Structure 1
Amino acid sequence: MNCWHLFVLTFYISVILTYAAVVPDNDDIDKQGLYSKSDQVVILTNKNFDKKIYGQNNAYVVQFYNSYCGHCRAFAPKFKSLASELESWKNIIKLAVLDCSVEENNEICRQFEVMAYPSLRYLHENYIKSNANVGDKLQSTDSADKLKTQLINKIQSEQSLGRLVFVPSLKIAAYSDFNSALKPFPKNVLYTFLIFENDNSTIGSELALDINDYEHVTLKRVYDTSELADVAGVTHFPGLVAVSSNLESTLLTPQNPTKQNLQKAINIFLKSQNYALPLRKISSEESLINSNHEKSQSLDSDVVYYNDLEKTLKTSLHTEIPRHKILSGEAFEALLQYLDVIILAFPFRGKLKEFVTDLHKNLSSRNQWTGSEVYELVKQLETVHAPVFISNLDYIRCKGSQPQYRGYTCGLWTLFHTLTINAAQKPGNEAPRVLKAMHAYVKNFFGCTECSQHFQAMAARNRIFDVKENDKAILWLWISHNEVNLRLAGDVTEDPEHPKIQFPSVTQCPECRLPRGAWHLPAVYEYLQRVYSTIKIQDARTAAAPSSISNLDIGLISLFLIHRLWREMQLLN
């Protein structure tokens, strides 16, 4: 190697080393689950959680959610709206999200004892990692404004505990003159805005937080009954007065004193004083459907794909069941029941049955497990029985047009329809066992809390535990599935490319409808047998479904429910 080559080599090595030294590790995630970086939330993962959360100068509101949870999908636009509105609060409090449906995030969700989705936790500044530190619970609400009010109340409470000392005080007081009102503020404050309001109003607190990044400007809440209101000439409330450092006052109350109009009045006044307002990031709502989005492949909706069943089973074992910090009592029995019906009626292939059987045997050796122990056991047995799941596992029929649609929820319905049909092909009346296992699973493990509550209420109303025979179990699940579809049709969680219909459609099963649109139940029963039995599942057994049923007795299925559904479906048609 000559001197020139050595020089070039040395130069490139130095450039590479210099570049590596100056480029920091990027802990920011662009997109995961229901959120992207453009939503102005911090996307947390198992890799960046500790660094982002603990020991920070700002507080956090963390939403623990599950991307296949319908309630979480409906809540996401509200949380994004709040994040956009609180963009100016980011040096005080940041909004963050963590997707508990992502397997790698499961341990954090367990640590924070997240048992319902979405779960909002407030974590104060300088938060310390500890098993006992799981944050303060906040209530998910139906609007960004209600969430904001809840946060304001929380900040006021935190200040009363001596925290958030760097945040403008949200206390309200009475004053007799401008001098006493301004006296506590430092000399570098050019303008103080006084908001005259009652103690229950949150407008002043919200404005104080909204303008917290205005340099040399502050805001103070004053009782509307204060003597200073008369001195300032405030006659209707909330009232707004600007006071300069030399105690010169300007009445700014707009005719319609909403929060937006009051802030606008503040900005107009400051601009008139040649004050440079801080630049704010202007956010635009991300389009729900990208113009270049490739349409989902049209699949035969009458086919059950093994991928959908297997991915659903894997998700339940990797993310849903292990989220429990402790598995004992009712939840542990629900896990064993679930594995029982999987062993009984899942259309296994390869080494999957050996894996599930071994898992059930190991779990049955004790009556209490931690979620992390269950997860580690699942991973260990997957290695012992490898390969258990096929590579590149993804949904096929249950794949949504976008990641937030369908997926696991579709897979779970498909799984339990399949288990019910296949259990009915066993000797005796085994299908009702599947319904009981499904009820226990949804109650204890299903990641959407609101969905679980709806299902439990429906199950009680439709007398799930009265179902004792195979044919009734199959039809009970079909009726219940259609009832859920009817409730969620047109909901924000509905995939626009896969609308929730009363299935089977006339196209899928013409013989399933009577002339006036009512259901022909024997034909529906045959349709369900035809679709969910193993004959159409890849690598499945070839046992044929019975071509007809005799003496179909649906007496234990709620006649009221059937009558109601018939009427609703006739109206739909």
Structure 2
Amino acid sequence: MMYRVNFVLLCILLQNYPVIGAVIADTGDIDEQGLYSKSDHVIILTNRNFERKVYGQKHALLVEFYNSYCGHCRAFAPKFKSLAADIVAWKDVIQLAVIDCSVDENNEICRQFEVMAYPSFRYIHEHYVKGNANIGERFQSTDSAEKLKSQLIAKMQAEQSLGRLVFSPSLSIASYATYTSALSDVPSDVFYTFLVFENANSTVGSELALDINDYKLIRVKRVYDTSELAKFAGVTHFPGLVALSSTLEPTSLTPKNPTKQNLLKAINTFLKSKNYAFPVRKIDTQDLNINVNSDEKLSYLNSDIVYYSDLEKTIKASLHTEITRHKILKDEALQALLNYLDVLISTFPFRGNLRDYILDLAENLQTKKEWSGSEVYDLVKRLETTHAPVYTSDLDYIGCKGSQPKFRGYTCGLWTLFHTLTVNAAKKPGTEGPKVLRALHGYVKHFFGCTECSEHFQAMAARNRLFDVKENDKAVLWLWISHNEVNLRLAGDITEDPEHPKIQFPSVSKCPECRLARGAWNLPAVYQYLQKMYGSENIRDSRRLASSGVAASPFSNLDIGMLSLLYILSFIIILLVVKFFITKHFFRKRRYKHGFGKV
């Protein structure tokens, strides 16, 4: 009886096993990554779904290539979400998509599209074909959703002039003398045509046409405000709006304040009065607010402690996603990379195999004067295998962990790494500190993913005369002053983590002796404080978190999943073995009559 129960259990386990496999073999479609979620009305692209979602589509795309730790990307994300929500009705014509280039697996796509600044926007027309030269059309970086929308509409108008976007409502503008000529190319079954009188540079008419592109048997036509028809219709305020029936009966609808929203409202009110059947649109009302449980806040962490896991994760991110975004690495950029590796080798407080790995990487990179980004990435991955295990920590942000994934992280880790390098360089003979500063300047100039941040840093370096620093202690203090300058500039910014406000550090509570009367800095005390905070002897292992009352799991989610799978497989094997011996013994003892003879 026992073996029958075990056999039933075995069947249940085997029946469920393919479900596990189906989950692993996903299509790459995800609901959230980086700064965006599916509810933001954007397509989230990954390396696994990019080709399927981008190439050969019936609609056009505007793709944002961004970096989730880039401050400018974080600041622009709400504006891009606002634009996406504003043009949901345009989805049959054009859709917005995003791809996070800070994600390791997405890096190759960003490199193929020659993305060297974040955020970068590329227009991809319908039925786009994959090819080495097909990297979309670049859009100018902008600071507002309205400016980006204006660029998008201008591009779509140009596309129609090239014979594309034939499925889109007409976005062109023309002059007409009579209502009859205005309707000459409008199908006879159209109920109403809305004439928008405006100048050629206005985008209002195009926006209205796209906003109601799914209204059946309704049209929008743009008309020059200087045309004879404008005078004939009595339109004196622009943009002006006239509803024209198929029987050429006009109705003036121009509101007192003719904004796009008011014009759209006027159209909808008019159609409602005519008992028009509006299309049913699916509106996503999912609440985007993320409530942070007070128990999950990071108040237990001392912000003035450096964790080795933060440093290792930052180094790995720099090697995996930042240096490899270059399509070609040569000349000044390649030298900047070698300088970065050189100061790591000479000043970073290595543990385990990481030093040998960095040495090997630097030696290999010196063998050629030009590398492709994909070659560097392959080299980085191959040497990681050669020197495994390269990283000794949990590779997670601890001191740099933000209250939400979009906060802190890599940028905090990079500052922490920079301070660690200057402080530990200052403990060595010679003038390693200034050398570190110059290497960091080269790294930020050529590799740091936040373009606006990089430009700010380079301007600050020129203003504060980075290249004139000649002594180790001055290098430590230069970086500290610059960090506080950045904190002052970004305090209260949208990118600031509310749980970790940007202050002038060290705070009075952390270092009372660092301040003199009236708040002036006591530089010798500050220098000693930085030496203590970033010195190699004070860098904490993440495993020591347990002593602070925070339980640190020895296994990652992947480890737990694999252990569970191994447990199930082991259990199945045991059941099979038990069944084999029981069945063998049972068959030897007894034989049964069967319709086909003995069994």
Question: Is the structural similarity TM-score above 0.5?
Answer: yes
* Other structure's SS at 1:417 match: helix
Aligned ranges 1:221-300 → 2 under 5 Å: 221-284=222-285, 286-290=287-291, 292=293, 294-300=296-302
- The answer as to 2:53 corresponding to 1:52 is yes
- The answer as to 2:440 corresponding to 1:438 is yes
1:284 Cα deviation after fit:
5.0
1:15 Cα deviation after fit:
13
Over 3 Å counting, the alpha-carbon distance change for 1:510 and 1:167 in structure 2 is same
Query: How many angstroms apart in 1 are the aligned matches of 2:402 and 2:111?
Result: 28
1:453-507 per-residue CA deviation (whole Å, 9 max, x = no partner) reads: 0000000000000111111111111111111111111111000000011000011
- The answer as to 2:481 corresponding to 1:490 is no
Query: How many angstroms apart in 1 are the aligned matches of 2:320 and 2:51?
Result: 22
Query: How many angstroms apart in 2 are the aligned matches of 1:367 and 1:132?
Result: 24
Contact 2:124–2:137 under 8 Å retained in 1: yes
Over 3 Å counting, the alpha-carbon distance change for 1:25 and 1:272 in structure 2 is farther
Query: How many angstroms apart in 2 are the aligned matches of 1:16 and 1:338?
Result: 48
Aligned amino acid, residue 160 of structure 1: S
1:271 Cα deviation after fit:
1.0
Contact 1:349–1:539 under 8 Å retained in 2: no
Contact 2:305–2:540 under 8 Å retained in 1: no
1:429 Cα deviation after fit:
1.4
The residue that corresponds to 2:98 in the other structure is 97
The residue that corresponds to 1:39 in the other structure is 40
Contact 1:345–1:422 under 8 Å retained in 2: yes
The residue that corresponds to 1:535 in the other structure is 537
* Other structure's SS at 1:137 match: strand
Give the alignment's Cα RMSD to 1 decimal: 2.4
Contact 1:45–1:98 under 8 Å retained in 2: yes
The residue that corresponds to 1:182 in the other structure is 183
Q: Quick one: which of 389, 392, 395 aligns to 1:390?
A: 392
1:295-341 per-residue CA deviation (whole Å, 9 max, x = no partner) reads: 22421222111001100000000110001000001100000000000
Aligned amino acid, residue 370 of structure 1: S
- The answer as to 2:367 corresponding to 1:365 is yes
The residue that corresponds to 2:130 in the other structure is 129
Q: Quick one: which of 451, 476, 488 aligns to 1:474?
A: 476
1:320-370 per-residue CA deviation (whole Å, 9 max, x = no partner) reads: 000100000110000000000000011111111111101111111111111
Query: How many angstroms apart in 1 are the aligned matches of 2:528 and 2:289?
Result: 39
* Other structure's SS at 2:193 match: strand
Over 3 Å counting, the alpha-carbon distance change for 1:81 and 1:461 in structure 2 is same
Aligned amino acid, residue 458 of structure 2: Q
The residue that corresponds to 1:344 in the other structure is 346
Aligned ranges 1:61-76 → 2 under 5 Å: 61-76=62-77
Query: How many angstroms apart in 2 are the aligned matches of 1:26 and 1:337?
Result: 40
* Other structure's SS at 2:379 match: helix
Query: How many angstroms apart in 2 are the aligned matches of 1:414 and 1:528?
Result: 11
* Other structure's SS at 1:152 match: helix
Over 3 Å counting, the alpha-carbon distance change for 1:357 and 1:164 in structure 2 is same
Over 3 Å counting, the alpha-carbon distance change for 1:25 and 1:498 in structure 2 is closer
1:513-564 per-residue CA deviation (whole Å, 9 max, x = no partner) reads: 0021100011001101111111111369xxxxxxxxxxxxxxxxxxxxxxxx
Aligned amino acid, residue 260 of structure 2: K
Query: How many angstroms apart in 2 are the aligned matches of 1:108 and 1:502?
Result: 39
- The answer as to 2:406 corresponding to 1:404 is yes
TM-score of the two chains, using structure 2 as the length reference: 0.85
- The answer as to 2:197 corresponding to 1:196 is yes
Contact 2:306–2:534 under 8 Å retained in 1: yes
How many correspondences in the alignment?
A: 530
The residue that corresponds to 1:462 in the other structure is 464
Query: How many angstroms apart in 1 are the aligned matches of 2:189 and 2:55?
Result: 32
Query: How many angstroms apart in 2 are the aligned matches of 1:460 and 1:494?
Result: 25
1:25 Cα deviation after fit:
6.5
Contact 2:174–2:224 under 8 Å retained in 1: yes
* Other structure's SS at 2:190 match: coil
Query: How many angstroms apart in 2 are the aligned matches of 1:417 and 1:497?
Result: 22
Query: How many angstroms apart in 2 are the aligned matches of 1:343 and 1:391?
Result: 19
The residue that corresponds to 1:448 in the other structure is 450
Query: How many angstroms apart in 1 are the aligned matches of 2:106 and 2:467?
Result: 36
* Other structure's SS at 2:269 match: helix
Aligned amino acid, residue 159 of structure 1: Q
- The answer as to 2:378 corresponding to 1:376 is yes
Query: How many angstroms apart in 2 are the aligned matches of 1:16 and 1:471?
Result: 61
Aligned amino acid, residue 486 of structure 2: V
* Other structure's SS at 1:516 match: helix
Aligned amino acid, residue 55 of structure 2: Y
1:16 Cα deviation after fit:
12
1:390 Cα deviation after fit:
3.1
TM-score of the two chains, using structure 1 as the length reference: 0.89
The residue that corresponds to 1:520 in the other structure is 522
Query: How many angstroms apart in 1 are the aligned matches of 2:27 and 2:218?
Result: 34
Query: How many angstroms apart in 2 are the aligned matches of 1:505 and 1:529?
Result: 16
1:289 Cα deviation after fit:
4.0
Aligned amino acid, residue 140 of structure 1: S
Contact 1:63–1:118 under 8 Å retained in 2: yes
1:63-101 per-residue CA deviation (whole Å, 9 max, x = no partner) reads: 000000000000101100000001001111110000000
1:190 Cα deviation after fit:
1.5
Query: How many angstroms apart in 2 are the aligned matches of 1:470 and 1:392?
Result: 32
1:17 Cα deviation after fit:
10
1:409-428 per-residue CA deviation (whole Å, 9 max, x = no partner) reads: 11111101111111111121
Over 3 Å counting, the alpha-carbon distance change for 1:403 and 1:247 in structure 2 is same
- The answer as to 2:313 corresponding to 1:311 is yes
* Other structure's SS at 1:493 match: coil
1:159-198 per-residue CA deviation (whole Å, 9 max, x = no partner) reads: 1111111111111111122111111122331111111112
Aligned amino acid, residue 269 of structure 1: F
Query: How many angstroms apart in 1 are the aligned matches of 2:314 and 2:257?
Result: 54
1:44 Cα deviation after fit:
0.2
Larger-Rg structure: 2
The residue that corresponds to 1:571 in the other structure is none
